[in-house]
Amino acid sequence: MTEVDALSRGWSARAPHVLRAERLDLTQWRDGHHDGSLALGGVAWGLPRADVDVDADSGGLAALDTPLLGPTQPWVDAWLTRGGALRSGRSGSVQWRTDGHWAFGQLNLPEAQGSLEQAAYRAYRDVFAALEDCGCPQLLRLWNYLPRINADGGGLERYRQFNIGRQQAFMDAQRDPFDGAPAACALGTAGATPGGLSVRFLAGRLAPKPVENPRQVSAYRYSRAYGPRAPTFSRAALADAGGGQLALLVSGTASIVGEHSVHHGDVVAQTQETLRNLQAVIDSAHRGCSARYRLADLHPTVYVRHAADAVVVGQVLAQAEPSWRDAPCVQADICRADLLVEIEAHAFAPGALA
Ligand code: 3EB
């Protein structure tokens, strides 16, 4: 069930199907002035709940009602294409938009009945159906938001329930939940996410190159100490964005060394460890491509568990990387109860996969 959008502009001849990202305020998003590009979708933070109608066509805006911290204003990470025309459609619970080369999709799934495990399974089953329907079969990046992520879900933490359903959906769709898993993040909301479990994704036609972090056990190989089924994500993904550009999509990164959380209760040390992990992911990415990324070039999103920690986390980040002085920061629960901070990021640079 798809329909052709009326949106069409004459870009395709000159710069066909180039993916890029832009950080916009809400006015810029609504004005639609993206430099002649079309918006596949936008991951939005801090949008007033009243503005969010989960049943309506979102126009590509995937809103999250997470508290903004410090000087952070509402913003949209817009995923843009220079492709010629957009097609939009629905596959089960997923709304998607594509130019035929890149796709952005989103779903908000109420957990009406059944467990979060079942909701996760349904969500990912619909995501995989959407990928087929929109002709962009390869996942590049996922964003997962779960109400009350650390709460008990009947003998098992809800995040661990989510991991069971997610991994099973990958397996049933004949998608490898281990090597080659997409980049992702998984955060907890206070339950204010419109509609319950929220998943957003960016997809393309070609598989990205997964990136691991040698300081950390691959998440898809975590031991059973962290749940009966491992999480399904890689530490980052490198995707050819067209036009000679390479995108580095860095998963949620936290204070984990090996497979264990470190610096319990010390948000400063956790932030510093997270920075070391981000640098290790960049170094690891460099071994798989000719592009060169610096921490300063990354567009980070900072999640802190306790709003009161936002100031000190911001200070540590600004000291390590001055260009991160105003990094957007929101309150969210991290997927392990002992983690206080998590950072995700993306960047584009000229280069190619090795
Ligand atoms: C970690 O490294 C921290 O379940 O999709 C980071 C990124 C984390 C993605 C996910 C979880 C996920 O294990 C948590």
What are the tens digits of pLDDT across the range 5-57?
334 443 334 456 899 999 999 889 988 867 778 999 999 998 765 555 555 56
What are the tens digits of pLDDT across the range 324-347?
999 999 999 999 999 999 999 999
> Which residues, 6 or more positions from 47, have their beta carbon under 8 angstroms from its beta carbon?
26, 61, 63, 64, 65, 74
Closest CA to 182 of 118, 121, 238: 238
* Distance between Cα 9 and ligand 1 center (Å): 38
Q: Is the CB of 220 under 6 A from ligand 1?
A: no
Catalytic residue numbers read 342
Per cent of the chain over pLDDT 70 is 90
What are the tens digits of pLDDT across the range 151-207?
998 899 999 999 999 999 999 999 999 999 999 999 998 765 555 899 999 999 999
Q: Is the CB of 251 under 6 A from ligand 1?
A: yes
For residue 35, the tally of other CB atoms under 10 A from its CB is: 8
Q: Is the CB of 213 under 6 A from ligand 1?
A: no
* Closest C-alpha residue for ligand 1 atom 6: 252
Lowest mean pLDDT among 7-11, 13-17, 78-82, 120-124: 7-11
Q: Is the CB of 124 under 6 A from ligand 1?
A: no
Q: Is the CB of 331 under 6 A from ligand 1?
A: no
* Distance between Cα 253 and ligand 1 center (Å): 7
In this structure, what token pair is assigned to residue 285? Answer: 């990415």
What are the tens digits of pLDDT across the range 226-243?
999 999 999 999 999 999
- Residue 339, CB-side half-sphere exposure with 13 Å CA sphere: 28
Q: What was the pLDDT predicted at 63?
A: 86
* Distance between Cα 186 and ligand 1 center (Å): 6
Confidence check: pLDDT of 85 > 50: yes
Which atom of ligand 1 lies nearest, measured to the CA of 163? 4
DSSP tag of 290: S
Mutate to test the pocket of ligand 1, among 170, 233, 336, 344 (most ligand atoms within 8 A of CB): 233
> Which residues, 6 or more positions from 157, have their beta carbon under 8 angstroms from its beta carbon?
149, 150, 151, 227, 337
Q: What was the pLDDT predicted at 102?
A: 97
The stretch 255-272 carries a mean pLDDT of 98
pTM score of the predicted model: 0.94
CB-based burial label for 297 (10 Å; 0-12, 13-18, 19+): middle
Residue with more model confidence, 112 or 190:
190
* Closest C-alpha residue for ligand 1 atom 13: 219
Q: Is the CB of 144 under 6 A from ligand 1?
A: yes
Question: Collapsing DSSP states into helix, strand and coil, what is residue 268?
Answer: helix
Q: What was the pLDDT predicted at 4?
A: 39
Q: Is the CB of 254 under 6 A from ligand 1?
A: yes
Q: What was the pLDDT predicted at 9?
A: 41
CA 340 to mean position of chain CA atoms: 18
Which atom of ligand 1 lies nearest, measured to the CA of 222? 13
